[in-house]
Amino acid sequence: MEETAETEQAADTELSRARNGHTLAQQLEALLIVADEPLSAVALATATDRPVREVRAALEALVAEFNGEAAERPGSPRGFELREVAGGYRFYVRESLDPVVADFVQQQTPARLSQAALETLAVVAYRQPISRGAIASIRAVNVDSVVRTLLARGLITEVGQDPETTATLYGTTEALLGHLGVGDVSELPPIAPLLDDGSEGFDREPV
């Protein structure tokens, strides 16, 4: 118990040192860059231990800075932007640069998908639209990196937000259907015969 208390105290000290050693803007940037879903001002305020009003002001300043509209440091827009979507904030590639990103992705030498990626892709294909949390629940593992890989490969895409949780929903792309040689997901073979017990999470309603 004593060792656990000391470990927790050390972690708290390290957290306090990190918060005190960086500006609120730096902390917000760090949190937003690792987030897979939009983060609300309230969530960011909790994570940084700062008032919501102060966090909102800092977010607005970051939006202006990335758009090249900061009063103290005007300049050209950055290659990414901070948008307020689905009740939260998230980084996005600037829309005018979409062709550059698309060309880069297409030029990458295709690599074989891992077993984890194939299983995740199957879940999305048969359960779409589906949230990252629902995918993780079905596979019983963290799927963050796998989902990012599938997004980068253009095999899945964001198709909306869950109306209740605002979680991002994913679906398959036309590119994947082309690779599979089908015109629509309805043409995919039934999944039940491919599973040991005919279920394994596929019989539940999508989330």
120 and 82 part of one domain: no
Which pair of structure tokens corresponds to residue 175?
Answer: 């590119």
* pTM for the structure as a whole: 0.57
Domain region containing 86: 2-96
Three-class SS state of 175? helix
Structure tokens at 198: 């005919």
Give the integer Cα–Cα distance in Å for 147 and 150: 5
113 and 92 in one domain?
no
pLDDT tens, position by position, 64-95: 999 998 777 778 899 999 999 878 999 988 98
| 173 contacts 153 by C-beta, under 8 angstroms | no
Q: Is residue 126 part of a domain?
A: yes
Q: pLDDT tens digit string along 167-199?
A: 999 999 988 888 787 788 888 887 655 444 444
SS3 184: coil
Together in a domain, 18 and 90 = yes
**Mean pLDDT taken over the chain:** 84
Q: Are 169 and 175 in contact (CB under 8 A)?
A: no
Report if residue 59 sits inside a domain. yes
Question: Which residue, 96, 116, 147, sits at the end of a domain?
Answer: 96
Which of 96, 125, 147 marks a domain boundary? 96
User: Are 146 and 120 in contact, with CB atoms under 8 Å apart?
Assistant: yes
